[in-house]
């Protein structure tokens, strides 16, 4: 791996750590660093935001809570390891309070878009997988609208569909949170979705 990529990634991490653009997250620290994965990933995953009981504590996306355990089960089902992928979030800091996780606002997603764009440009992944609606909408903002889904598209319209986005292939999938597994998309159904990813990786 070029030394310049490691240097630029460290600068990206430093910039994210210094960011104070979102008022309710000024006491939080961005989850971006070596624990996110390899800088030469086969797949780049984008989730919603670090969870209060998960990544905000472990400093590793999709790690330390129920969503993280479900994600690791799905990743293992297609014989991918964390050492082969890079995992980040549409919003790098945890938008939670003492009562639980909160969804990031549109402004918070917008504030974090430059970090997501820099990550994509730096790592140049061949495949990008968005996990959930928030991540899908963030990438929709970055992608050429002629190549990506319409801004108002629902995840149910595009989930499991491969979208060519110029430099990468984009696969929108559902989030593996307990709420989604119980009400929208079961773990068995999400395993089938991940099989599409396995076929893309080859």
Q: What residues does each domain of the chain span?
A: 3-201
Beta strands at 100-101 and 96-97: parallel, antiparallel or unpaired: antiparallel
**pLDDT at 149 (0 to 100):** 64
Write down the pTM of the prediction.
0.93
Query: Taking residues 9-13, what's their average pLDDT?
Result: 98
Indicate whether 159 pLDDT > 60: yes
Helix, strand, coil percentages (3-state) for the chain, rounded to 5, are 45, 15, 40
Under CATH, what is the fold of the domain 3-201? Uracil-DNA Glycosylase, subunit E (3.40.470)
Return the higher-pLDDT residue of 53 and 62: 62
Alpha-carbon distance of 111 to 88, in angstroms, equals 15
Look at residue 68 and tell me whether its pLDDT is greater than 80: yes
pLDDT band at residue 65 using 50, 70 and 90 as cut-offs: very high
Name the residue with higher pLDDT: 172 or 51: 172
Task: Provide the CA 90 distance to its chain's centre, in angstroms.
Answer: 6
> Residue 156 pLDDT > 70, yes or no?
yes
> Which residue, 117, 70, 93, 77, is CA-closest to 23?
93
Nearest to 80 by CA among 111, 120, 114, 125: 125
- Tokens in use for 62? 């999709």
Give pairs for 9-18: CB < 8 Å, separation 24+.
Answer: 9/39, 9/122, 12/115, 12/118, 12/119, 12/122, 15/115, 16/92, 16/115
């Amino acid at each position: 791996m070029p030394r310049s990529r490691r240097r630029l990634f460290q600068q990206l991490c430093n910039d994210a750590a210094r960011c104070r653009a979102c008022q309710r997250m000024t006491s939080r620290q961005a989850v971006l660093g070596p624990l996110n994965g390899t800088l030469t990933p086969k797949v780049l995953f984008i989730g919603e935001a670090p969870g209060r009981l998960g990544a905000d504590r472990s400093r590793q996306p999709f790690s330390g809570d129920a969503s993280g355990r479900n994600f690791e089960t799905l990743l293992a089902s297609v014989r991918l390891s964390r050492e082969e992928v890079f995992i980040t979030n549409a919003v790098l800091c945890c938008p939670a309070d003492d009562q639980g996780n909160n969804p990031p606002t549109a402004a918070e997603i917008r504030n974090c878009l430059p970090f997501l764009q820099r990550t994509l440009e730096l790592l140049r992944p061949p495949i990008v997988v968005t996990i959930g609606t928030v991540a899908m909408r963030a990438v929709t903002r970055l992608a050429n609208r002629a190549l990506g889904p319409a801004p108002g598209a629902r995840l149910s319209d595009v989930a499991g569909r491969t979208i060519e986005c110029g430099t990468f292939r984009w696969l929108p999938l559902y989030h593996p949170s307990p709420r989604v597994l119980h009400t929208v998309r079961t773990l068995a159904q999400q395993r089938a979705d991940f099989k599409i990813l396995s076929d893309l990786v080859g």
